[in-house]
Amino acid sequence: MRTKTETRRQAILQAATEVFQQSGFERSSMSDICERVGYSKPTLYSYFPSKEELFFAVMFEATEIEFQTIFETLDTGMDDITKSLENFGVGLLTLLYSPQVQAVRRLVSSEAGRSDLGKKCFELGPARSEAAITAFIQAAMDQGQLRKANPRVAGLHLKGLLEAEWIEGFIFQTLQELPKKELLLTVKRAVAVFMAAYGKD
């Protein structure tokens, strides 16, 4: 039964992915997804209570492996912490500003006050990111790679610096996807400022 349930869930996610890609979130409906996958509405709603939650699940499934890979780059064992932070920054911005994740972030912003989608996304995205970055920075401070400070605040500063050059374009929807060359330069500038503030003298 468990295998059958997971198989059905994956079939729904695949159908939803195809529908969202073809029609976009606003123009897609749960009826469209039912028709594509061949299941009834009660079956679909038993897995995903709303279109918003189904959309989030599609995006989460698509980005989770990349999310885990990015945070594996936070390696305090590296001799060059600047390089470790740059690797992390490139991965993080590539993920956050991919068209798929931008779509999720905008959806969350518009739906957060009307449902618990915002809370779910925060717990699975920013809250996990914050915990991982805080732990990394605390370890780097303990090892003498960074000066002693509040590791959570330092992590928030790092993320803020990484997004500083792009966040307004995202908010006002003038940004589609980061050019790779500009992304690399952005990360180098952000990490340089972070190290000026938190690097060892």
pLDDT for the residue 109: 80
155-195: pLDDT as tens digits: 999 999 999 999 999 999 898 778 899 999 999 999 999 99
Q: 1: pLDDT confidence band, cut at 50, 70 and 90?
A: very low
Stretch 11-25: mean pLDDT, rounded? 90
With a pLDDT cut of 90, the percent of the chain lying above it is: 58
Res 31 pLDDT > 50: yes
Phi/psi of residue 140, nearest 5 degrees: -65, -40
pLDDT for the residue 68: 87
DSSP bridge partners of 109? none
Those residues whose C-beta lies under 8 Å from the C-beta of residue 184, and which sit 6 or more positions away, are 90
Tell me which of 45-49, 111-115, 141-145 is least confident. 111-115
The pTM score is 0.84
Give yes or no for a contact between 92 and 162, defined as CB atoms under 8 angstroms apart.
yes
Domains of the chain: residue spans and CATH: 1-48 (1.10.10.60), 52-198 (1.10.357.10)
pLDDT for the residue 4: 63
